[in-house]
Amino acid sequence: MARNRGLLIAPVLQHRFRPSVRAAVSLAASGELGKLCGVNCLIPWWRSQSYYDEPGQGSFSRDGGGVLLTQAIHTLDVLRALCGEIEIKAAQVSTSALHSMEGEDTACALGEFGVGAAPGTIMATTASFPGFSEIMTLIFERATVRLTEQGMQTFYQDGRTEELMDFSGGGGADPMAFDHANHRKLLSAFLDALEGKVSMEVDLSELIRTRDVIDKILAFRLGNPVS
C-alpha cells in the first residue's frame, strides 16, 4: 500500500541505531571473524501480573501476542541483522504459572543462523524475576561477539579484547527504562529520507523479516510449524 501511494514507512526498530549494534553488524558482515559457528540469544525479562492486568496488555487482539512481539522483537531484530536469515527448526511457546494472560510469556527456539546454518538458541521470557539484561552471543571462527544493553565486546582468539560500550538502558524489569537517543536517531534518519537526502536505513522490509521469525516461533504454540 505504501509503495502504491508513494509513501515512506519507518518501523520503530531503534536498537539498529545504537553505535554498538552498527559496529557489530559491520564487523559480522566484514568476514574478518570468519564463519559463524554458533548463536545464543537470551532475553530474561520480568513483568509483574499488574502489568498484564492492564486492559489489552499481552492480548492477541491489541498486542498481537505476548513476549515475542511486545518485548523481544527489538533484540530479535538486532540478532537477525547480525546473522542474516534465521530459520526456526523447533520451539516451545507457553504461558507460565507466574502470569494470567492471553499471549505467551515464555518462548524457546532452536534455529539455524546465517548462510552457513549455524546452530543456535533463542529464549525470551517476562517471567524471570527480577529481570536481567538480554545477552546475544555469536561464536565465530576467530572471535566471539557479545552484545548486551551495556554495549559490545569482542573476544579474539589471539588474546585481544575490544569494547564499545553505549549503555542505553534496558527493559529487564521496567518497560520504560531506556534512553531516547536512539529514537532521536531513527526520527532524524526518517526525516532525511523524507527529504530525499538518503535512502531508508531501516525500512519496512526489515520489520517484516523479523516478524516472520516471530510468527515461525509462535506457530509451534498452535501446533502448525511454518516451513
- Give the list of residues 6+ apart from residue 31 with CB closer than 8 angstroms, or none: none
Q: What is the mean pLDDT of residues 196-222?
A: 91
177-187, pLDDT tens digit by residue? 778 899 999 99
CB distance 81 to 16 below 8 Å:
yes
Banded model confidence at residue 174, pLDDT cuts 50, 70, 90: confident
Q: Give the number of other CB atoms < 10 A from CB of residue 186.
A: 20
Q: Angle 73-83/204-218 helices, nearest 10 degrees?
A: 110
Q: Which residues pair with 143 in a beta bridge?
A: 156
Does residue 96 surpass a pLDDT of 80? yes
pLDDT tens digits for 108-153? 999 999 999 999 999 999 999 999 999 999 999 999 999 999 999 9
Strand partners, 77: none
- pLDDT of 173 > 80? The answer is no
Average pLDDT (87-106) is: 96
**Whether the bond into 44 is cis, omega within 30 of 0:** no
CA dist., res. 56 & res. 206, Å (int): 26
H, E, C per residue of 108-138:
EEEEEECCCCEEEEEEEECECCCCCCCEEEE
Write the secondary structure of the chain as one string of H (helix), E (strand) and C (coil).
Answer: CHHHHCCCCCCCCHHHHCHHHHHHHHHHHHCCCCCEEEEEEEEECECCHHHHHCCCCCCCCCCCCCHHHHHHHHHHHHHHHHHCCEEEEEEEEECCCCCCCCCCCEEEEEEEECCCCEEEEEEEECECCCCCCCEEEEEECCEEEEEECCEEEEEECCCCEEEEECCCECCCCCCCCECCHHHHHHHHHHHHHHCCCCCCCCCHHHHHHHHHHHHHHHCCCCCCCCC
Q: Report the topology of domain 2-218.
A: Dihydrodipicolinate Reductase; domain 2 (3.30.360)
Would the pTM count as exceeding 0.85?
Answer: yes
Domain ranges of the chain: 2-218
Task: Please give the average per-residue pLDDT across 82-110, as a whole number.
Answer: 96
